[in-house]
Amino acid sequence: MKTIFEPVELGNLRIKNRIVRSATLEAGGAVNGVIAPLLKDIYAGLAEGGVSLIITGMMGVGHNSCAYSGMNRIYDSTFSDRFADVAETVHAKGSKITVQLGQCGAKATVIEKGNQPYAPSECEAIPNLPAKAMSQSEIGQVVNDFGDAALLCKNAGADAVQIHAAHGYLLSQFLSPLFNKRQDEYGGSIERRGRIVLEVYENIRKKVGADYPVLIKINYSDLKASGLTGDESTWVCQELAQRGIDAVELSSGIAIDAESKPSQAVADFSKGSFSNAALKLSSDVPVPVISVGGYRTPDTIENVLNQGDIAAVSLCRPLICEPALVTRWENGDRTKAKCISCNKCFGTAYGCKGFV
Ligand SMILES: Cc1cc2nc3c(=O)[nH]c(=O)nc-3n(C[C@H](O)[C@H](O)[C@H](O)COP(=O)(O)O)c2cc1C
């Protein structure tokens, strides 16, 4: 019988309980891509509040990777020192921290002069900001960016890194037939659409070494007709498992309209939004699975944990309004999270004024 409050191993990453903070963009935690003091305060609150592992909001791995100016840039020259200070605080308060490595692709808006957002194929995800189909050398550069960023995070004290391959950002765009219309070896079958994800993983692994924990967040489904399917996602996860990925956080939704937004999905709060997919993946792939989406009570979480092989669950919106939720549950008040899933935190969370 699994319980929330026991340690668990996500590959080489040991965490003190089974509740993880899912990546949540802290738009006020950066000013023009540079870590701001607010970031440390947010993470200190979460660490004091009992989460075992904080996954940072997505941080940009390289040029033209950021969707917001309030998104941290790992490639900024100030990153290492400032992040080291943040990580030290999290560790002192008994939690661990994973950086989410992001490349927003066609949804990137912080674009250098003369450049365009990257995408697998030409498209316009942001009005009046057309994205270009990436050349193979640009793909190679982005793959390299992920590896370099991961090494910077490792050296600055992050306990792990997480590749963001969900929610319609660059790697998710490559995985999805809705964005990826390429005719070369990066488009077509899932073996080809998934190639960039495997290359990103391998580049990171080469740079951070065999023992450093590398996680991925990936969609099980795009929540759109003709999008990525569960079987295809399972294939990618199996390939990653064979190559040594430490854990998979399973989400869904390509976030191009209301129907495909992960936070609009469900809401059957009696079992979480995507727990069926996570249970299936955990039986199909020999790798620890973290299930995200719609978890609001400890009873639901323990119920899902005990239906199969899911190792942990992760929470986002509940921890925005109640950073100490996990400690509250641990202290015996197991009532539902205060979050009512109104989604008003989009564009307002953490000092953010409209996600710009
Ligand atoms: C304000 C906000 C910011 C988010 N930022 C990210 C992010 O940076 N990276 C990511 O993978 N997911 C992000 N998400 C999605 C969450 O990690 C999570 O998958 C989703 O909210 C469902 O979990 P929940 O029901 O516990 O909120 C964000 C969600 C919200 C509400």
| The pLDDT of residue 222 | 96
- In angstroms, the CA 180 to CA 191 distance is 13
Does 23 contact ligand 1 (Cβ within 6 A)? Answer: yes
Q: Between 270 and 322, where is the model more confident? A: 322
Distance 321 CA to ligand 1 centre (A): 13
Which domain does 85 fall in, by range? 16-351
Question: Is-contact 116 69, C-beta < 8 A?
Answer: no
**Does the beta carbon of 107 lie inside 6 Å of ligand 1?**
no
Contacts of 199 (CB under 8 A, 6+ apart): 139, 143
Asked whether the predicted pLDDT for residue 122 surpasses 80, the reply is: yes
Answer whether 96 contacts ligand 1 (Cβ < 6 A): no
22: Cβ below 6 Å to ligand 1? Answer: yes
Can you tell me whether residue 226 is helix, strand or coil?
A: coil
pLDDT digits (tens, 9 = 90+) for 129-166: 999 999 999 999 999 999 999 999 999 999 999 999 99
For residue 11, name the pLDDT band (cuts at 50, 70, 90): very high
Residue 352 predicted with pLDDT over 80: no
pLDDT band at 356 (very low <50, low <70, confident <90, very high): very low
6 in a domain, yes or no? no
Residue 230 binned pLDDT confidence (cut-offs 50, 70, 90):
very high
pTM of this prediction?
Answer: 0.98
- 315 and 325 Cβ atoms separated by less than 8 Å: yes
> Residues 311-323: what's their mean pLDDT?
97
**Average pLDDT rounded to a whole number, residues 215-236:** 97
CA distances for 315 relative to 126, 236, 307, angstroms: 28, 24, 19
Residue 274 falls within a domain, yes or no?
A: yes
- The DSSP H or E segment spanning 241 is helix 230-243
Q: Which amino acid is at 242?
A: Q
Within 10 angstroms of residue 192's Cβ, the number of other Cβ atoms is 16
Residue 236 — very low, low, confident or very high, per pLDDT cuts 50/70/90?
Answer: very high
From 316, 339, 344, mutation site for ligand 1 pocket: most ligand atoms within 8 A of C-beta: 316
Evaluate whether residue 2 is within a structural domain. Answer: no
Structure confidence at residue 354 (pLDDT): 60
CATH number of the domain bearing residue 205 = 3.20.20.70
Q: Is 345 in the pocket of ligand 1 (CB under 6 A)?
A: yes
Is it the case that residue 4 has pLDDT exceeding 50?
yes
How many whole angstroms from 42 Cα to the centroid of ligand 1?
A: 15
Residue 356 lies in a domain: no
Nearest CA owner, ligand 1 atom 10? 23
Our count of domains for the chain comes to 1
Among 65, 267, 259, 30, which residue's Cα sits nearest to residue 173? 65
CB 260 within 8 A of CB 224: yes
**Residue 9 located in a structural domain:** no
Tokens found for residue 51: 């989460």
pLDDT per residue over 242-301, tens digit each?
Answer: 999 999 999 999 998 888 988 776 666 788 999 999 999 999 999 999 999 999 999 999
Dihedral angle computed from the Cα positions of residues 127, 133, 139 and 142, in that order, rounded to the nearest 10 degrees = -10
